[in-house]
Amino acid sequence: MRIVIAEDSTILRHGLVELLTFRGHQVVAAVKDADALREAVGTHAPDVSIVDIRMPPTHTDEGLRAAIALRRELPGCAILLFSQYVETKYAAQLLADRAGGVGYLLKDRVAEVSDFLDALRRVADGETVLDSEVVSQLFSATRRTDALGALTPRERDVLGLMAEGRSNSAIAAKLFLSPGSVEKYVTSIFGKLGLPPSEGDNRRVLAVLRYLDS
């Protein structure tokens, strides 16, 4: 893959470059601020960009806002947010454009390099990949809405695991359910959220984004 890295920590930025290069990927740019990120993506058109959220000058949400701007300017631009923090203010906006190709992982919770590389590949392929803690905090931030009020607690559990990008078989193993039971829960979720079958949309992603967009 051709990759752009936006990370203000010099050590982590160079570490990611070494890791990805060693694994056979091409890092076309490694920058330290949001303005340089937007320029690098516009110039190199990477397969995916790894973006820290808190970057200069204020170290608050520059990276996340730059990611939103890039997705608006370049629809389908694949971005993996890689941060120590969960920023709910703009994260739901990034995820709610429904185009896929977005991810949000927490640095302290990536236990295996292989997991990180797998998430990066999946985002580059157009999937949505979220850390479970990100899902939990985004859900909490919008819990006062009644968008998913019709869902049972178990259906919410299934939806949370869907948001992490897990397959039905993986959800079944995690929740100690049969694959058939998971399929019934997923079908029920689609029905309650008003997501009829469609050849053009991934209903698994839309089910999650419907909640975040509420």
Average pLDDT over all residues of the chain: 84
Evaluate if residue 92 carries a pLDDT over 80.
no
- At 1, the amino acid letter reads M
Instruction: Give residue 150's identity as a one-letter amino acid code.
Output: A
Quote the pLDDT of residue 162.
Answer: 82
Dihedral through CA 131, CA 136, CA 141, CA 142, nearest 10?
A: 100
Q: Can you tell me the distance from the alpha carbon of 90 to that of 74, in angstroms, rounded to the nearest whole number?
A: 18
Q: Among the ranges 148-162, 173-187, 193-207, which has the highest mean pLDDT value?
A: 173-187
**Residue boundaries of the structural domains of the chain:** 1-129, 142-211
Cβ contact 87:201 at 8 Å: no
Confidence label for 144 from pLDDT (cuts 50, 70 and 90): very low
Q: What is the CATH number of domain 142-211?
A: 1.10.10.10
What pLDDT is recorded for position 148? 67
Strands (E), 42-143: 48-51, 79-83, 102-106, 128-130
Q: What is the mean pLDDT of residues 173-180?
A: 92
- Residue 77 DSSP code: -
Q: Token digits for 206?
A: 């839309």
Q: Find, among 106, 80, 96, the residue nearest to 142 by Cα.
A: 96
Mean pLDDT of all residues in 5-11: 94
φ, ψ (nearest 5 deg) of residue 140: -65, -35
* Stated pTM of the model: 0.68
pLDDT above 90: residue 172? yes
Over range 7-33, report the average pLDDT.
Answer: 95
| pLDDT surpassing 80 at residue 12 | yes
Query: In Å, how far from its chain's centre is CA 74?
Result: 17
Band (pLDDT 50/70/90 cuts) for residue 161 is: confident
Confidence bin at 202 (pLDDT 50/70/90) = low
pLDDT at 86: 80
How far apart (Å, rounded) are the C-alpha atoms in residues 53 and 75?
A: 20
Say which DSSP state 97 is in.
T
| 81 vs 90: CA distance, rounded Å | 12
Worst-scoring range by mean pLDDT, 27-31, 80-84, 94-98, 119-123?
Answer: 94-98
**Residues 127-164 as b or e (16 or more Cβ within 10 Å = b):** bbbbbeebbebbbeeeeeeeebeebeeebebbbbbbbb
Question: What is the fold of 1-129?
Answer: Rossmann fold (3.40.50)
Question: Which residue is it, tokens 């590949």?
Answer: 121
